[in-house]
Structure 1
């Protein structure tokens, strides 16, 4: 029996579109039988989620996201995933209350980094992701050290992420400045890889590596893991 994937999307819309496109393409490439995957997307209110996170009302963030997952369950999904990194700030709490099995983008990315033999990786994303503990908590168990940009660099990344990337604005000047931060992080911290820990980041940094440094596209990594579940 074919499984149905449930995706909590809209956080942000640009990357949800990319998830849908990649899920279709990856599934069809893997199955090669002409079929398309059953997918249910619940597009939620990004502003509401971010406002709750900014107010540090994480219990309400959890309630909001659990409700989003349960809507997918009632619609017929067999498992769920968040098309975003930031909601994983409360992923363990959501998983504990969800009636659906959930696929973590953080766990999938950690598995990918381990397979690549990475030991010290940089982390880009929203401020919530770069300063949160949900990435280090998972990666430390695999013996992988995470390094965040400095405070000024984090401010730049977060500001451009929220003012440009989530709105579908991808400027060459922003791309060059982001790559400059990558170079400085590599020189300063000796990282051997960089996690694009925001699902809009691969839309502006579209190469698999930069100056011999692998860039881990969390969207593609997550999609590949979802397709494995769809076809299992």
Structure 2
């Protein structure tokens, strides 16, 4: 069902709360910048720790089953599509698609095209353990991804603690910023992508001395295109 002005966007939120707030703020701001209004509903995940446990144990089917009733709730609210407000939460994307009562708009699929358009050939990754270990779930076909492999557990644990707390400590900020610097200086990364939605808590308002790309902004741009009718779900699906 398409409404005048675009689609009704559904967000699976609460993974974590800070990330959901940023999605809400940036999506509404981007649509307003384009001169439009957004029809938006958020379904809240009651316990982020369920996602964390399933993610760390690679329990994809179990997490997809957690998402499915939330997507049903979004459909009942009139949403035309749904999005997961967490890059880490995309580890079970295919399994969720199989159960979903609505089309799902990926945050991972648009990144490769974005990097190519920007002329980036090698990207450094920060995010959850799984995002870094799988190099963004192996979905970068035309961009080489690098991570500090020996420090994935340390960085991933710090990210997890920040996401659960909803704020970033000075020590965590230093860890993330320094990790990005090392990937740029020692591994030839041309930019660092924030592959964890909550990493804005560490990088927003900061100038680390290297280019930072927030994957959230790339996803929001796709959602804004749908919300304002600039693109269709069929066109988005054709690029994934």
TM-score (norm 1): 0.88
* 3-state DSSP of counterpart to 1:5: strand
Q: Cα 1:173–1:115, aligned 2, differ >3 Å: closer, same or farther?
A: same
- Give every structure 1 segment of 4 or more consecutive aligned residues whose post-TM-superposition deviation is greater than 6 Å: none
Offset of 1:193 from its aligned partner? 1.4
TM-score (norm 2): 0.86
Offset of 1:62 from its aligned partner? 1.7
Q: Cα 1:208–1:217, aligned 2, differ >3 Å: closer, same or farther?
A: farther
Does the 8 Å contact 1:8/1:82 carry over to 2?
yes
Q: What is the aligned partner in structure 1 of residue 32 from structure 2?
A: 28
What does 1:29-108 correspond to in 2, within 5 Å? 29-31=33-35, 36-44=37-45, 45-108=47-110
* 3-state DSSP of counterpart to 1:41: strand
In 1, Cα distance between equivalents of 2:88 and 2:174: 24
Does the 8 Å contact 2:27/2:224 carry over to 1?
yes
Does the 8 Å contact 1:166/1:200 carry over to 2?
no
Query: Which string of whole-angstrom CA distances, capped at 9 and with x for unpartnered residues, describes residues 72-92 of structure 1?
Result: 112210011011001211112
Could you tell me which runs of 5 or more consecutive residues in structure 1 were left unpaired when the two chains were aligned: none
In 1, Cα distance between equivalents of 2:162 and 2:122: 29
**RMSD, aligned α-carbons:** 1.9
Deviates more, 1:105-114 or 1:192-201: 105-114
Query: Which string of whole-angstrom CA distances, capped at 9 and with x for unpartnered residues, describes residues 4-56 of structure 1?
Result: 10000100101101111111111111125xxx311110111211122223333
Q: Which residue of 155, 158, 169 corresponds with 1:157? A: 155
Does the 8 Å contact 1:109/1:216 carry over to 2?
no
In 1, Cα distance between equivalents of 2:83 and 2:77: 14
Q: Cα 1:208–1:100, aligned 2, differ >3 Å: closer, same or farther?
A: farther
Question: How many residue pairs end up in the alignment?
Answer: 224
Could you tell me which runs of 5 or more consecutive residues in structure 2 were left unpaired when the two chains were aligned: 230-240
